[in-house]
């Protein structure tokens, strides 16, 4: 059933891909010829006989051969022996659609440059919206909207940009003293309206403006425009509104470093990123509540709270449900903010929770066939996605598509009016323009300018061939979760096998499809020495371009566990399990890595980790290999 989906670890589906590529390349050439068949060939038919042509061709071939040869040193993402970072084989439908589209070279900045693929990109946004439980009916005024980005980093940046525009807009309306609108009483209230009331007010303003005579309309539009944060800049905006502090972004300590980049880029400054502690490897909702309470008391505005669905390092899932509950509660207390879910990694796992009709699956339905997945907390987090304000999903991660394809999706598309560059377009009644034609000027709304239409075609075709529900696309994440469960169980057997040689543990039960393994040689109680040992193991598992690829048996990656992130109790539990002395864990110190525990990290996304055809489990092979390497490094003979 998965057989036709990928090129395959052995290139098994080479004939299929080759047929498709050749067929659609020819198709493209005929399209060129059929544009104006009366135009004769501009390149003479005998050109290929000319010595210059031949010299050029031989140079070209030489360079391509060199490129192709050096690319053989690439990381073999396709192989089930690769369980390192977040990459795997590419879905054939996406690969074929991208190759097919490349020679047409559509530019999804606007419909003028991409009459076909721009609609596909908007459709992709709706496909992902449906997967997340956002409204995807474009006839609804509050329909969701999503678009592609170069990756999760830019999608997260777009989330910040949109949330800030929406938060600051009511303040601008007040400053412009627009009559006839029910405006908030003061700046603090205006800055804390929250996303829903903010969108409501934006709609009222657009209606009011549309009702003004033409010359007043322009005057009012400019009056508001010149009061906006986007016009004034951070410095002048907050100088004019002295009651308002620069807002904070709250995120779990495990958040990806793109959040730090985003705050710098937006000019809010990294100082405004507050990292919240975790509890049991998930964002601590109680700590979030305390921080929000403190912000409310100190009149410290909050721009957004970020929850991570599938952390980059551990694959863990934050309590999205608790975060949206807190948003709603603090809204009634006068502290408004948006909730964004960074699901760059875990987004496509949502397909496991969706029926083909778009409805949510119950925990017992999802659970069938899995040993532990999903924990009730994980099910609750996915079930709450529809209540969040925006989400980042990376098709180039668990969507098995080529780089760079990230996506940003917001629950209510009306807020995007505040992102548009052209003011005249921003402020006419958006309900008068239909949804699709509005977003055919995609460049108006997105951080990027020119962007790949071929990437949009690849994502669209993939989602059409494999709809985003459990019965279709969901079969892929299902494999990855099953692989993680098999890995977890086999790692526990390895712990028994290595008894008396090394302590091996899975430090926390995986929430999804990343599994970490902690190791300490028996008899060692010193954290720094345990770390040095795991780093040596990892050195054998990392990509190394100076060696022939075939020398590598397996690829893995590493990460660290820090007490600031885990909390002392959890950290001590893990150190004790490893028979490490917690006293050898030192405070943050530049000269040593004894302020954290180094562990191996495994991304189990390759669909062929368990090869049913040949009865091979690469998971078993890997963990047997790991056992042998641990024995060898410790000078302990293999049984």
Ligand X SMILES: *Cc1c(COP(=O)(O)O)cnc(C)c1O
Binding residues for ligand X, rule: CB under 6 A, are 151-153, 156, 256, 258, 308, 312, 342, 344-345, 394, 406
The CA distance from 210 to 623, in Å, is 67
User: Based on CB atoms, which residue is closest to ligand X, 106 or 406?
Assistant: 406
Alpha-carbon span 452 to 118, nearest angstrom: 10
Look at strands 514-521 and 278-279 and give their pairing. Answer: unpaired
Peptide bond just before 244 cis, omega within 30 deg: no
The minimum distance between CB 171 and ligand X, in angstroms, equals: 30
CA dihedral over 237, 241, 246, 247, signed as positive or negative: negative
State both tokens at 107: 């530019």
The smaller minimum CB distance to ligand X, of residues 345 and 382, is found at 345
Cβ 81 to ligand X, closest distance in Å?
22
Burial 175-185 (b: 16+ CB within 10 A, else e): bbebeeeebbe
Q: Which is nearer to ligand X, 258 or 480 (CB)?
A: 258
Identify which of residues 232 and 565 has a Cβ nearer to ligand X in the complex: 565
Residue 176: which of 201, 146, 213, 149 has the closest Cα?
201
CB of 72 to ligand X, least distance (A): 25
Helix axes 618-633, 527-541, angle to 10 degrees: 130
Considering the complex, state which of residue 129 and residue 251 has its C-beta at the smaller distance from ligand X: 251
Distance CA 529, CA 34 (A): 70
Is residue 615 left, alpha or beta, with left meaning phi > 0 and alpha meaning psi from -120 to 50? left
| Shortest distance (Å) from residue 94 CB to ligand X | 16
Alpha-carbon distance 518 to 510, whole Å? 13
| Alpha-carbon span 268 to 248, nearest angstrom | 8
Minimum distance of ligand X from residue 307's CB (angstroms): 10
As to burial, measured by CB atoms within 10 angstroms (0-12 exposed, 13-18 middle, 19+ buried), residue 71 is exposed
Minimum CB–partner distance for residue 31 and ligand X (Å): 33
Q: Specify the length of the chain in residues.
A: 639
Write down the least CB distance from residue 392 to ligand X, Å: 6
Token pair, residue 210, equals 């549309």
Q: Is the dihedral of CA 322, 326, 327, 329 positive or negative?
A: positive
Q: At what angle do helices 214-225 and 195-210 cross, to 10 degrees?
A: 150
Determine the residue with CB nearest ligand X: 152
How near is the Cβ of 267 to ligand X at its closest, in Å? 20
- CB-nearer residue toward ligand X: 153 or 351: 153
Q: β-strand 282-283 against 406-410: which pairing, if any?
A: unpaired
Nearest to 490 by CA among 607, 372, 371, 623: 623
Task: Considering the complex, state which of residue 397 and residue 503 has its C-beta at the smaller distance from ligand X.
Answer: 397
To the nearest whole angstrom, how small is the minimum distance from the Cβ of residue 397 to ligand X?
Answer: 6
H or E, element range at 302: strand 302-308
- Cβ–Cβ < 8 Å for 632, 624: no
**CB of 160 or CB of 626, closer to ligand X:** 160
- Please, what is the minimum distance in Å from the beta carbon of residue 308 to ligand X? 5
The least distance separating ligand X from the CB of residue 98, rounded to whole angstroms, comes to 17
User: Which of 144/307 has CB closer to ligand X?
Assistant: 307
C-beta closer to ligand X: residue 524 or 606: 606
Would you put residue 440 in left (φ > 0), alpha (ψ -120 to 50) or beta? Answer: alpha
Q: Report the alpha-carbon distance of residue 404 to residue 401 in Å, rounded.
A: 8
Q: Which is nearer to ligand X, 8 or 151 (CB)?
A: 151
Residue found under tokens 């990294």: 270
- Rounded least distance, CB 406 to ligand X, Å: 5
How near is the Cβ of 280 to ligand X at its closest, in Å?
18
SS3 content of the chain, % helix, strand, coil (to 5): 50, 10, 40
State which residue, 138 or 156, has the beta carbon closest to ligand X. Answer: 156
At closest approach, how far in Å is the CB of 515 from ligand X? 16
Looking at the Cβ atoms of 308 and 600, the one nearer to ligand X is 308
Report d(CA 93, CA 460) in Å as an integer.
10
* Token pair listed for 120: 């596909």
For every residue of 537-579, DSSP letters joined together read HHHHHS--TTS-GGG---B-EEEEE-HHHH-HHHHHHHHHHTT
Q: How far is the CB of 86 from ligand X (least distance, A)?
A: 6
Q: Which is nearer to ligand X, 152 or 170 (CB)?
A: 152
* Closer CB to ligand X, 143 or 276, in the complex: 276
Q: Of 337 and 345, which CB lies nearer to ligand X in the complex structure?
A: 345
Taking the C-alpha atoms of residue 518 and residue 446, their distance in angstroms, rounded to an integer, is 42
As a whole number of angstroms, the distance between CA 601 and CA 518 comes to: 9
Q: How far is the CB of 540 from ligand X (least distance, A)?
A: 25
* CA 327 vs CA 167, 212, 275, 292, 461: distances in Å: 14, 36, 17, 9, 36
């Amino acid at each position: 059933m998965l057989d036709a989906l990928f090129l395959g670890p052995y290139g098994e589906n080479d004939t299929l891909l080759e047929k498709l590529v050749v067929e659609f390349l020819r198709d493209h050439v005929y399209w060129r010829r059929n544009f104006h068949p009366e135009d004769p060939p501009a390149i003479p038919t005998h050109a290929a006989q000319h010595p210059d042509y031949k010299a050029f061709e031989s140079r070209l071939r030489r360079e391509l051969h060199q490129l192709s040869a050096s690319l053989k040193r690439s990381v073999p993402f396709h192989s089930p022996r690769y369980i390192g970072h977040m990459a795997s084989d590419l879905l054939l439908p996406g690969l074929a659609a991208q190759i097919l589209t490349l020679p047409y070279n559509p530019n999804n900045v606007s419909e003028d440059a991409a009459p076909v693929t721009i609609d596909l990109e908007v459709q992709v946004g709706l496909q992902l919206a449906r997967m997340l439980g956002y409204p995807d009916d474009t006839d609804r005024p509050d329909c969701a909207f999503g678009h592609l980005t170069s990756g999760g980093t830019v999608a997260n940046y777009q989330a910040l940009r949109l949330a800030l525009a929406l938060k600051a807009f009511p303040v601008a309306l007040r400053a412009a003293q627009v009559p006839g609108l029910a405006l908030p009483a003061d700046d603090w209230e205006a800055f804390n309206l929250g996303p829903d009331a903010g969108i409501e007010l934006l709609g009222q303003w657009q209606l009011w403006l549309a009702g003004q005579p033409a010359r007043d309309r322009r005057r009012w539009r400019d009056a508001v425009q010149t009061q906006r944060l986007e016009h004034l800049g951070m410095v002048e905006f907050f100088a004019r509104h002295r009651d308002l502090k620069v807002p904070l972004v709250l995120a779990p300590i495990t958040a990806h470093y793109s959040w730090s980049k985003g705050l710098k880029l937006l000019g809010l400054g990294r100082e405004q990123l507050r990292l919240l502690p975790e509890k049991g490897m998930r964002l601590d909702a109680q700590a979030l509540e305390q921080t929000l309470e403190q912000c409310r008391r100190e009149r410290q505005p909050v721009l957004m709270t970020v929850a991570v669905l599938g952390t980059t390092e551990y694959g863990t899932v934050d309590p999205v449900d608790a975060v949206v509950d807190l948003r709603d509660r603090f809204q009634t207390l006068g502290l408004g903010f948006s909730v964004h879910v960074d699901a760059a990694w875990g987004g496509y796992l949502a397909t496991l929770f969706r029926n083909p009709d778009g409805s949510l699956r119950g925990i017992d339905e999802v659970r069938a066939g899995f040993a532990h997945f999903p924990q009730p907390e994980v099910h609750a987090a996915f079930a709450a996605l529809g209540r969040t304000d925006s989400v980042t999903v990376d098709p180039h991660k668990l969507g098995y598509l080529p780089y760079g394809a990230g996506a940003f999706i917001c629950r209510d598309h009306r807020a995007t009016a505040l992102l548009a560059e052209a003011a005249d377009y921003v402020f006419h009644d958006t309900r008068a323009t239909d949804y699709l034609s509005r977003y055919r000027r995609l460049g108006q709304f997105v951080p990027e300018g020119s962007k790949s239409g071929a990437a949009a075609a690849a994502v669209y075709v993939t989602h059409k061939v494999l709809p985003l529900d459990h019965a279709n696309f969901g079969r892929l994440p299902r494999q990855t979760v099953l692989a993680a469960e098999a890995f977890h169980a086999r790692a526990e057997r390895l712990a028994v096998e290595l008894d008396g040689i090394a302590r091996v543990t899975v430090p926390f039960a995986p929430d999804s499809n990343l599994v970490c393994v902690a190791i300490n040689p028996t008899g060692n109680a010193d954290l720094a020495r345990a770390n040095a040992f795991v780093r040596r193991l990892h050195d054998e598992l990392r990509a190394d371009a100076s060696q022939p690829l075939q020398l590598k048996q397996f690829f893995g990656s590493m990460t660290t566990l820090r007490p600031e992130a885990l909390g002392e109790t959890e950290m001590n539990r893990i150190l004790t399990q490893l028979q490490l002395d917690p006293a050898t864990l030192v405070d943050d110190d530049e000269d040593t890595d004894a302020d954290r525990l180094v562990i191996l990290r495994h991304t189990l996304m390759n669909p062929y980790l368990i090869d049913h055809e040949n009865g091979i489990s690469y998971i078993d092979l890997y963990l047997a290999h790991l056992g042998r390497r641990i024995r060898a490094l410790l000078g302990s003979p293999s049984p």
